[in-house]
Homo-oligomer: A and B are copies of this chain.
Amino acid sequence: MLVSRRRNAPQRPSSSELDALAGHPVFCSEFKYRRGVQIFGEGEAVEYFFQIKSGTVRSYKMLADGRRQIMAFHLPGDIFGVESGALHRFAAEAIVETNVWLTARQNVVDEKHGLAVAANRILKLVTSNLQHAEIHTLLLGRKTSIERVAAFLIEMDLRLSSPDVLRLPMKRRDIADYLGLRLETVSRSLSELRDRGILTFIGQCQREIILLDRKKLAEFNC
């Protein structure tokens, strides 16, 4: 009797909300990506739309000299890789071993009628991506390091929908590239939140966090 099966437990064995996106049942495959493997690259043609069955994916852009900005983390249940254009505007990689459902783009967007059939549902998806990007723009442009880390924890707490322990699938470097910081700064901010009694680390690795004081944490989320 899990508290929330919303994201983690699909009701149907081998399909998903990709049907809902298309507006009709579509043929889906499943695929497993090992950790660190690229799923698609920036500028590549959009061939498939994905939904995460288990695991985590990062989508990111890179500058020529290697600076990386992670645009979003995709968690179980999330649909990603959906573009209204023909080319991916960023790359996507599995952070941990990740299982996805995928369906060919043309199953969703009718080549003859353009996006007409699914336009409404794709619009909803693109809109929620835009909303996320706008909130993140505010964070990157105007928040301090500790505010960024607090916002990240609150986002993950919400999206991982785990009642007690926050099990972060990504490493400090990923968090840093998401928040526009360096990994040392992320580590220092987490340590400060720990020292202030807002969170604590459990287990052997430092990726399992208990939020002791969500109220105090939320105060950083101006």
Contact = CB atoms under 8 A, between A and B. Distances in A.
A123 B115 contact: yes
A222 interface: yes
Interface stretch (A133-141, A158-166, A205-213): A133-141
Interface residues of A, number: 39
A68 B142 contact: yes
Interface stretch (A3-11, A93-101, A124-132, A167-175): A124-132
Contacts of A134: 61, 71, 89-90, 133
Contacts of A130: 126, 129-130, 133
Given A83-B127, A89-B131, A115-B120, 19 more contacts: A68-B142, A69-B137, A71-B134, A84-B123, A84-B127, A89-B134, A90-B134, A114-B120, A115-B123, A119-B119, A122-B123, A123-B126, A133-B133, A137-B137, A140-B140, A141-B177, A141-B179, A141-B180, A142-B180
